[in-house]
Amino acid sequence: MARSIRQSQRWLERAKKLIPTQTQTLSKGPTQFVQGVCPVFVQRGQGSHVWDVDGNEYIDYLLGLGPITLGWNDPATNDAIKKQLEQGITFSLPHTLEVELAELLRKIIPCAEMVRYAKNGSDATAACVRIARAYTKRDLIAVCGYHGAQDWYIATTERDRGVPALMKQLVRKFEYNNIETLERIFAENQGKVAAVIMEAISVEEPRDNFLQKIRKLCTKHGALLIFDEVVTGFRLALGGAQEFYKVIPDLAAFGKGVANGMPLSIVAGKRRIMQTCDDVFFSMTYGGETLSLAAAIATIKEMQSKPVLQHLRSLGAKLKDAFNALASKYDLPVECKGLPPHAAFSFKDKDDKEDLLLKSIFVQEMSLRGILVTGAYFICYAHTNEDIAKTIVAFEEAFRIMRQALDDGNLRKFIKGTPVQPVFRRL
């Protein structure tokens, strides 16, 4: 079972000299795995599997943190990219693919009367916020969840160094499934809330008409409702959580799943609001980059012509149900929550707080068995029933060791490297 990660370690030493944090995406960095046991550098992917730089093979449940919906090296998206590559990448005039994709999105995303493009999910959420502030002529934003790397949002987090304290005054947090926390924000800030931005679902499912109540509150107070569909879009349903829950926001930000790994994000919304873009500054060099637009069209067409989303749902349900059944069997304080195409694992200590040591044992034991996973999983169309069966066997073996560690009381003893660290921490 031991896997050599010698090449990963060598690359890590080289990276440490030149790249702070050794990653471009915090959730992919070495601190999110058990250092000394798990791979650090990846080499290639095929279908639902990836190979690290030491040649070890893994069933991949991280999938680039969500963008891979079809699978690695998918022929449909690859062919579209190659065909466009021969024509050019980033031009100096708008390209017809921008219009073609817009016409496709208009048909599948309920709120998408107009669309604009960007690169990262963070670009799209920040644009939604700016458009909402311009449209309503108000400044305050109510947030619930993670919405990207920009100042307007990071001001609400623990890892807020470098963000002016002033920014905190412009954002208020509310709790998911707790409508009173949002009602209070509206009551205390009459006429000041520009928008509510939220994921329609992340781990908990909406209860007691939570989303419908939010829709009503926003309309009542003249604030815009923005759905952050960076994870839910092109995964939960083609048109995202707004299609799934039949609650239509005013604006929505899409990213990740739309182009099977190519960097594209989308701002979609009602026509009268999107037209604010005519005098809001939202512009970037690569917004109309054509390889990603071509990849998005090809990916969406694959999703429309094959049972991609059903597959994500049915395989995800098998994985989630097995995790929870085994958690009961081994009486572990762990749970898998969320909807089947993407769900999160929780690892709790005696005080009901996140137990990073227990999580570390899980991540380590799964990695040693050739399964790349951390605190959540994503499913893609290339995952097979055989992948799922192997993963469930690995869950059981990992859970047995976690049970042993909890019975022993000294969890650290069971971790063969440096434990997983939180992403949001005060330094």
Contact footprint for ligand PMP (CB under 6 A): 65, 120-122, 125, 146-149, 199, 228, 230-231, 255
Q: How far is the CB of 148 from ligand PMP (least distance, A)?
A: 4
Nearer to ligand PMP, 5 or 182 (CB): 182
Nearer to ligand PMP, 45 or 257 (CB): 257
Q: How far is the CB of 27 from ligand PMP (least distance, A)?
A: 7
Q: How far is CA 143 from CA 14, 136, 174, in A?
A: 39, 17, 6
Contact in structure between 152 and 168 (CB atoms under 8 Å): no
Beta-bridged to residue 35, according to DSSP, are 418
Q: Residue number with the shortest CB distance to ligand PMP? A: 121
| DSSP reduced 3-state for 292 | helix
Q: How far is the CB of 408 from ligand PMP (least distance, A)?
A: 35
Nearer to ligand PMP, 238 or 252 (CB): 252
Cα angle at 362 between 360 and 365, to 5 degrees? 105
Dist. CA 47–CA 112, nearest whole Å: 31
Q: How far is the CB of 375 from ligand PMP (least distance, A)?
A: 12
Nearer to ligand PMP, 127 or 398 (CB): 127
Dist. CA 15–CA 19, nearest whole Å: 5
Q: How far is the CB of 119 from ligand PMP (least distance, A)?
A: 8
Tokens encoding 184: 């209070």
Nearer to ligand PMP, 5 or 236 (CB): 236
Nearer to ligand PMP, 230 or 334 (CB): 230
Buried-state track 72-87, b at ≥16 Cβ within 10 A, e below 16: bebebbeebbeebeee
Q: How far is CA 26 from CA 5, 33, 52, 113, 333, in A?
A: 20, 11, 18, 34, 26
Q: How far is the CB of 145 from ligand PMP (least distance, A)?
A: 6
Q: 413 — alpha (psi -120 to 50), left (phi > 0) or beta?
A: alpha
